Amino acid sequence: MSKAALDAIKTQVMWNRLIAVVEEQAQSLLRTAFGTITREAGDLSAGVYNTQGHMIAQAMTGTPGHVNTMATAVAHFFEKYPQHTMRPGDVYCTNDPWLGTGHLFDYVMMTPVFLKQKLVAFFASTCHVIDVGGVGFSAKANSSFEEGTLIPHLMIRKQGKLNDELLSIILANSRNPVEVKGDLLSLISANDTGARRLVEMMTEFNMTSLDKLGDHILNTSEKGAREAIKALPDGEWSYIMPLDGYEAPVTIKARLIIRNGKIIVDYTGTSAASIYGINSPRTYSLAYSVFALKAIIAPHVPNNIGSLSCFDIITEPHTIVDPIRPSPVTSRHVTGQMLADAVFGCLAQALPGKVQAESAGSIWMISLNSAHGRVARAALDGTSDFGVLAIGLGGIGGRPGKDGLSTMAFPSGIGGIPVEITESQCPLWFKEKQFLKGSGGEGEYRGGLSQRFEIRNREAAPFTISAATFDRIKHPAQGRDGGKPGSLGAARLGSGAALPDKGIHLVPKGDSLILDLPGGGGFGDANKRRVELVEADKKAEII
354-402: pLDDT as tens digits: 999 999 999 999 999 999 988 888 888 889 999 999 999 999 999 999 9
Q: DSSP letters of 170-218?
A: HHHT-S-HHHHHHHHHHHHHHHHHHHHHHHHHHHHTT-S-SHHHHHHHH
Cα–chain center distance at 105: 12
| Cα(189)–Cα(442) distance, integer angstroms | 47
Q: What are phi and psi of 130, to 5 degrees?
A: -75, -25
| Cα(323)–Cα(103) distance, integer angstroms | 12
**Who's near 286: CB < 8 A, 6+ residues apart?**
68, 69, 312, 313
What pLDDT is attached to residue 6? 84
What pLDDT is attached to residue 67? 86
What pLDDT is attached to residue 4? 80
Q: At what angle do helices 211-230 and 3-32 cross, to 10 degrees?
A: 90
| Cα(389)–Cα(504) distance, integer angstroms | 14
What pLDDT is attached to residue 543? 87
Domain positions in the chain: 3-209, 215-355, 356-543
**Who's near 400: CB < 8 A, 6+ residues apart?**
353, 354, 355, 356, 445, 523
| Cα(311)–Cα(287) distance, integer angstroms | 10
What pLDDT is attached to residue 262? 87
> Which of 307, 311, 37 shows the shortest CA–CA distance to 186?
37
Query: What's this model's pTM, rounded to 2 decimal places?
Result: 0.95
Which residues, given as ranges, of the chain have pLDDT below 70? Answer: 467
* Contact predicate 130/176, CB 8 Å: yes
Neighbours of 348 (CB within 10 A): 21
What pLDDT is attached to residue 126? 96
| Cα(340)–Cα(355) distance, integer angstroms | 11
* Contact predicate 482/401, CB 8 Å: no
* Contact predicate 279/328, CB 8 Å: yes
